[in-house]
Amino acid sequence: MLSGKLWPAHPKPLPDELLSSWIVRVAEANAIKLQTLSWMLFGSRLSPWNRDIDRNAPQWLIDALCEHTGSSYWEVFRMTLVTYGGRLYPHRQAVGQLRWILPIRSYGMRHRAFGQQFCPECLARDAVPYFRKQWRVACFTYCPEHHVDLWDACPGCGLPIVGFRGDFGRELKNARPMHVCYSCGYDFREAPRKSAFFPNEELHQLFDGMLLSLNAPDSQAGQFDLGYYAVMHQFCRVMGMRQNQGRLQRFIEEQLDLPHLSLQQGLISVEQRSHGERHRLMLCALWLMADLGCRLESAWLSKALRYNLMLRDFDDAPEWYLLLVERFSDWRKGVVAFKND
């Protein structure tokens, strides 16, 4: 049983580690069940595991972890998804869909959504397997280091990945580590490696650059700033809108010589879509972003995209984007250009 304020073992966070992953490792290092650790700290009145602590870590949790591990507030805070604020989304929000952050939809101690992804090659090469923050980001559909698709469900049983449930209902000696499915015992390190698909090398390089930029300091973000991600998110939304009827997606697929992939239509955010749909949306949106002015004009002239959808529900559109799409506000110009062609 742990005693005193500072616990005997307090492993340091690993690069890009998620808070939930680190807490599991802290419990393992101290040879105590995770649930027991939670009860010791907070009793039965509070539980960290019936919420998304990686997105919204309560102050009482951060304070307790700092006190017992000797970590600073900022060391713990940097393991949360809040650090993507100002890069992927403009500001924190406690409820509702957060732009580019995959939801887990906590229900008690279970997850009802497939918001935790993993790269089997990363886990296999880790000296100590752990979960990364970037695996909770919707645009991460593959690993930019190993160029294999991420998994968002257990390959063995198809359930969502829940790394903290390995010792629930089991004796400590029979607990399953994070890299093993809590339900069926599948070892995620053994998951099949599927090479990520790209229609051309230019798009591959752009995709890699975007993903790698998220682990760089804000000052090194370059073109991949908050406005860039906001505009790209808007096009992912438009491609799924019933009002667009898949026209923009088909137009881009024709330019990239891709077979059509039917998307589930309606008010479904990119964060709520399957891995395959997210990857296709990212490829299409990135193709547009690579030469936005020219390619947006081509889509508009081809009637693949109407002006009103470019701005539909886009309240925080960057100024440069508003100036760009203003060129397409007069539908008569498009009609004349289309006839001349």
Q: What is the pLDDT of residues 40-67, one digit of tens each?
A: 888 777 778 888 999 999 999 999 999 9
332 pLDDT tier (thresholds 50, 70, 90): low
Return the top range by mean pLDDT from 34-43, 187-196, 219-228, 326-335. Answer: 187-196
Q: From CA 41, how far away is CA 52, in angstroms rounded?
A: 18
Within 13 Å and on the Cβ side, how many CA atoms surround 50? 7
CA separation (Å) from 231 to 85, 157, 228, 309, 310?
16, 36, 5, 12, 9
Mean confidence (pLDDT) of the chain: 90
Q: Are 101 and 89 in contact (CB under 8 A)?
A: yes
The rounded percent of the chain whose pLDDT value lies above 70 is 92
Encode pLDDT of 168-208 as tens digits.
766 777 778 999 999 999 999 999 999 999 999 999 999 99
pLDDT(245) > 80: yes
- Tens of pLDDT, residue by residue over 154-173, are 999 999 999 887 677 667 77
Give 151's DSSP letter.
Answer: B
Given this model, what pLDDT does residue 127 score? 96
- Residue 269 CA to residue 275 CA, distance in Å, equals 13
Q: What is the rounded average pLDDT of the residues 274-288?
A: 97
| DSSP strands (E only) in the chain | 106-107, 110-111
What's the CA gap between 141 and 281, in Å, rounded?
11
Residues forming a β-bridge with 137:
101
**3-class secondary-structure state, position 111:** strand
Segment 20-39 mean pLDDT:
88
Residue whose C-alpha is closest to residue 189's, from 177, 203, 204: 177
Tokens 């949790």 correspond to: 61
